[in-house]
Structure 1
């Protein structure tokens, strides 16, 4: 092969000294010339890389992408229902949180493993059929784990903010299998999410209710034992009755005390009056009417004389004088005399005696009643004091019974509600709707063309790099222009050189 070398003003310098003393300087036009000299090497590198890329692209097979979408709304399973108490009851997440939760469930490894086991590992990965058939149980589990990861790489789940749609895409070399895997994933997802969000019937509420029922039975036994040992039928009603009875008895006692004081006062007054009243008295007495009869007779005689005499006659004046004299004596009481008299027991004294006896009887009866009512008041107070001493224990037992009874009732209601909710949720997922089921794609995609394009670009780049490396590694100054720029001397002539 012949090349052209340049003559310079220092042609006899040793090559080694010239290489390290001066570095070749090139212009853009020199690169075209020098790279053309390395066209053989560059073509060889380009063809080798191109052949490798074409061979690799030929191994790529078409893949088919099945697509589906889900519409997700807020469901009952996202409403917070505490097992005990009412704290934060009814709290719900926002729509984006629900979408992200459902997307995480769709991408869970457990769900992908369910799909593999339902369809069959060999059906999804036919290339691994022989290896799977001859593998041990542990090896099969590892292959299923690898298949689960492979499905995760081929499965694409897309969500968008403020959007209730989840889009899914699955890529497989078989279009029918792509459709089947994605539809099976959706079916298993609807079943898996119900068990995950709603949970299995773990009977937690029933066990807790049984515990409360057992405690309630023990408390009831203690309560009944307390009542029977203290001879109490109904503590509350008995205390209420005793309180009312205490009020009535004390009221009766105060009333009898007032009556007793009244009767004692009346008895004292009657006895004082009785001491002043004589036991006997005149029952009746006749008055002497002789003077009055005489006076009446004289007046009759005067009237008879008037029939014979004049009023101023002597007989008339005499009888008038006698009448006047007798009237003066009657008026002065000189003519009064004792008549018939009768004495006997004094009726006033007898009435006072009877009243005193009655009052004595009433006082005695009232004193007996007062003593009885005082005894009753004392008895009722003692019974109330006994109930007051027992009341703290009774209140504690009653409080425990009420609390446990309320807990049993609440947990029974919660258990029934939880069971009803689980049954309704297990039958349908109303908040999850499949907008579009997967269908077998009719067109596939392959990486042949992108690989070929990248191979060509990489081969061209590698060939250019090889040519540049070979160019810079050649000794000497390759072109007259480069020699002139490098040495700063004019090039007078060039001559061809044979190697």
Structure 2
């Protein structure tokens, strides 16, 4: 008995199959597009125009943006860059506190307009939400200008609200930067003045007991003398080593040089002189005899014998030798004596320098023993003096700064206040384009969903691709 197994195979479509099937769903896609586009268009057409009021605020770098430590030396650093100051002021301008002050200044009904309804708390919450969504604060990199804007459906209300925000921002920042540290600075200054009086008395008693006028100056001069003497001793030690090595080298060279050398030496060259004499006689005989004559031949024989004797190399030798003292030996000996004297002089100077070093080292040890006590007393006195001067300056500066901030003298100025805008803006055109694209995309997605959820084999190409079998013929579907 044969059994059969059945499996479900989804149709496999190509690009041309998908395009062809999409054309079959054209009516459905058009209906979906029109429905979505109509709904989106109706929603967009209900939007109202918005009016944007703008204002500009200049925020320069002032004293509040220069770092100053509360305790210690007053050493103000460089102020922040223009865009950094503008960014900090923009955060203050857009803070929640400024928005609440603006709402209380103009009222929640002014911000909400006809939409105002509910309890005062609910109105304030709604106004805060509307103000937060409509208010825009922006800065430009490298610029100290803060651009402020507010969007509303009423141009007059937009300008009124924006001006209220700017005014309350100026009030808020003055309250933030107006300090109240003057009494605290004065109290600290008085306390440090009392401590300084006690420290002065203790330090003066220490100097008198150790018979020291100025500890720092005395020790500095002593240390300078020690360093100079130490450098001189090191230099003398190096020169002494160099002189000793030079003397040893000269003594070694002197041992290799002879005390006397040959000054002049006369050579014995009588054989060469005899040859020249015989040649002269031969020339004289040739004037009377022929070369084959016996007297000429005898002289030639004598010349040949003498030349053979000279060729042996034993005919030339010293005849007279004169000796004397060597100039190199004398020069080296003179240099050696000078080098020995220099070495002895350097050794004596080095002994004196080392003695001075020992004395200076002992005196420095005594000063080092007293240094910790002096450092504690002097450091305490200097610290208290610096703190008293510091708090005097801070007290005066804080008093003047509080008065100036309260009077409104700061680095922020309103360049342009808000006025009611005459032209509104609407996003209907770009929103309609977005609605059109969304409707087209939705219709396309519905068409593809219909194509890929269809059951059965719709096209010959997909049938052959799915079953991996060739399609030989296509018959029209029989009507039911």
Shorter-chain TM range is 0.5 to 0.7
Alignment of 1:495 with 2:476, yes or no, is yes
* Contact persistence 2:72–2:390 (CA under 8 A): no
Q: How does 1:316-465 map to 2 (within 5 A)?
A: 414-465=394-445
Aligned equivalents of 2:103 and 2:14: distance in 1? 64
Q: Does 1:77 align with 2:77?
A: no
Match of 2:453 among 467, 473, 481: 473
Change (3 A) 1:152 1:429: farther
TM norm structure 2: 0.52
TM-score, normalised to structure 1's length?
A: 0.51
Distance 1:414 1:26, change over 3 A: closer
Please name the residue that 1:249 is paired with.
none
Residues 490/90 of structure 1: CA separation in 2 closer, same or farther (3 Å cut)? closer
Gaps of 5+ in 1: 1-13, 224-395
The whole-number CA distance in structure 2 between the counterparts of 1:209 and 1:179 is 50
In structure 1, the residue corresponding to 2:117 is in which secondary structure? helix
Question: Does the C-alpha gap of structure 1 residues 207 and 150 become closer, same or farther in structure 2, counting only changes over 3 Å?
Answer: farther
Q: Distance between the aligned counterparts of 1:430 and 1:161, measured in 2? A: 22
CA distance in 1, matches of 2:427, 2:111: 21
Report the equivalent of 1:366: none
Matched residue, 1:120: 107
Q: In the alignment, is the contact (CA less than 8 A) between 2:72 and 2:387 conserved in 1?
A: no
Report what 1:20 is aligned to.
8
Q: 1:184 to 1:196 in 2, by over 3 A?
A: same
CA RMSD in angstroms comes to 4.0
* Unaligned residue ranges in structure 2 (runs of 5+): 202-376
3-state SS of 1:494 partner: coil
- Structure 1's 444 and 498: CA in aligned 2 closer, same or farther, altered over 3 A? farther
| 1:465 CA displacement | 1.2
Q: What per-residue deviation string (whole Å, max 9, x for no partner) do you get for residues 313-355 of structure 1? A: xxxxxxxxxxxxxxxxxxxxxxxxxxxxxxxxxxxxxxxxxxx
**Alignment partner, residue 156 of structure 2:** 176
> More relative contact order in 1 or in 2 (CA 8 Å, sep 6+)?
1
> Rg: which structure is higher?
1
1:131 alignment partner, SS class: coil
Displacement after TM superposition at 1:479 (Å):
2.7
Label 1:468 to 1:414 Cα distance change in 2 as closer, same or farther (>3 A).
closer
Mapped to 2, the partners of 1:44 and 1:210 lie a distance apart of 89
Q: Deviations over 1:273-322 (max 9, x none)?
A: xxxxxxxxxxxxxxxxxxxxxxxxxxxxxxxxxxxxxxxxxxxxxxxxxx
Residue in structure 2 matching 1:99, options 64, 86, 95: 86
Residue pair 2:21, 2:451 contacting (<8 A) in 1 also:
yes
Give the drift of 1:21: 4.3
1:53 partnered with 2:33: no
